[in-house]
Amino acid sequence: MRKTMTGLVAGVGLMWACGTSAQAQELTIFWAEWDPANYLQELANEYEAETGVKVTVETTPWADFQTKAFTEFNAKGSAYDLVVGDSQWIGAASEAGHYVDLTDFFTKHNLTQVMAPATVKYYSEYPANSKKYWSIPAEGDAVGWSYRKDWFEDPKEMEAFKAKYGYDLAPPKTWAQMRDIAEFFHRPDQKRYGIAIYTDNSYDGLVMGVENAIFSFGGELGDYQNYKVDGIINSEKNVKALELYRELYGFTPPGWAKSFFVENNQAITENLAAMSMNYFAFFPALVNEASNPNAKVTGFFANPAGPNGEQFAALGGQGISVISYSKNQEEAMKFLEWFIKDETQKRWAELGGYTASAKVLESPEFQNATPYNKAFYETMFKVKDFWATPEYAELLIQANQRIYPFVTAGQGTAKEALDALAADWNATFKKYGRNK
């Protein structure tokens, strides 16, 4: 009987030990449904081959991503161990305790030096300049442009353009040139249009699009240190930038008032527009002949400069964070340690992911790997982002409510729209006790 009991206890102990170990052999990463998530799964498969830890990248459509992620966080659910969350989420997720503090991890691995400075600033640090880090820069991304090389390089077009505008037709170096080129190629009677820009106002599409103009015109959204917005978001520079964005909307294909990354790639693949705005993460589809019949004649350029030569772009991309409610936090940290290794970052870039590793980004190997990597490299060192405060969603919705009617329907003026937005943002910051 004693032997039986000892055996039983030992068996149960062994089962418990095996159970715990088996539990830690699996990790789930939550991300949006797009190509980089597939590349991450490929990378994770290599991690499994190396360590035996199975990593599943679970995805959901972009439209649901925020809602689904925060619903799980709010329920303190442990369905996911890591999340590749949007840069704007960092304030809301860290203040609510959904993300594990990675400051020690950051310091230990000297990540402020390893990763490109802008990616650390926008994907990882919150509050700004606090030296507290909540994510590891994972998918670097920013807005860039694709264009139809065959249209631009057609001798007849070049001649006609020079005759009309007095300078050579080439990928635009400034927003003013971009406006001219968009106007030049806008030919509704031929079903050819000048430009495709972001207009969708259901999340951050339109706002990111407008940010490209605002930042390059030398403007800002506000003072991120003290939450001052009046005189900044409605500055003269921002008014000019918004007016130009509205003007560009006039050169988009018909029905372009709810367009985001899918439609903007279609503008190139379906011969609709001469130039198209999109995140670099969506460019692989444009160099693939299976998804773009115009792949051979598609070129790329970085966001052009504003009237004073300043050149910035809206940040996309995400950092990877450990979720506080994960039961496999230790294992998740091991994965992150593997993820930040130079050779892993190199492999990540080879697979198609946009590494944030400064070393890899600077390498000629990376910059020559695709027709757009050089433009991506240049852009990643001059990116700026939206507010990352916990109430970012309210700020985003208010921006959409004020800017959208002006851009797509010409209601009111740019000054009126931005003045109203300044008042909205001011009231929101006041409500949350940030701007006293």
Partner 1 sequence: MATAVMISLDTKSRAASRGMSDIHIRNLFIIPTILFLIVFNIFPLIYSLGYSFTDFRASSNAPANFVGLQNYRELLNDPFIWSNFAITAKYVIVSVTGQVIVGFGTAMLLNRDIPLKGLLTTLLLLPMMLSMAVVGLFWKLLYDPSFGIINYTLGLGSFEWLSNPDVALYAVAITDIWMWSPFVMLLSLAGLSAVPKHLYEAAAIDRAGPFYTFFRITLPLVAPILMIAIIFRTMEAFKTFDLAYILTSQPTTEVISIRLYKMAFQEWQTGRSCALAYIVLIMILAITNIYVKYLNKVKER
Note the residues at the interface with partner 1 (CB under 8 A): 66-67, 70-71, 73-74, 92, 95-97, 188, 191, 200-203, 253-258, 272, 390-391, 393-394, 396-397, 401, 404-405, 408-409, 411
Residue closer to partner 1, measured from CB, 166 or 255:
255
What is the C-alpha separation between 135 and 133, in angstroms, rounded?
Answer: 6
Cβ at position 49, least distance to partner 1 in Å: 37
Residue closer to partner 1, measured from CB, 134 or 335:
134
Cβ at position 201, least distance to partner 1 in Å: 5
Cβ at position 309, least distance to partner 1 in Å: 34
What is the C-alpha separation between 281 and 293, in angstroms, rounded?
Answer: 19
Cβ at position 350, least distance to partner 1 in Å: 36
Residue closer to partner 1, measured from CB, 71 or 113:
71
Spatial CA neighbour of 263 closest among 314, 185, 197? 197
| Tokens found for residue 68 | 């689904």
Residue closer to partner 1, measured from CB, 13 or 97:
97
CA distances 247 to 74, 328, 405, Å, are 42, 51, 13
Q: Is the dihedral of CA 263, 71, 104, 48 positive or negative?
A: negative
Residue closer to partner 1, measured from CB, 84 or 396:
396
Residue closer to partner 1, measured from CB, 372 or 404:
404
Inter-residue contact 182 to 194 (CB < 8 Å): yes
Cα maximum dimension of the chain: 102
H runs (alpha helix) in 166-281: 175-185, 205-216, 236-249, 261-269
- Judged by DSSP in three states, 142 sits in strand
Residue closer to partner 1, measured from CB, 74 or 107:
74
DSSP letters, 146-158, are: EEEHHHHT-HHHH
Cβ at position 256, least distance to partner 1 in Å: 7
Cβ at position 147, least distance to partner 1 in Å: 20
Cβ at position 1, least distance to partner 1 in Å: 45
What is the C-alpha separation between 109 and 350, in angstroms, rounded?
Answer: 23
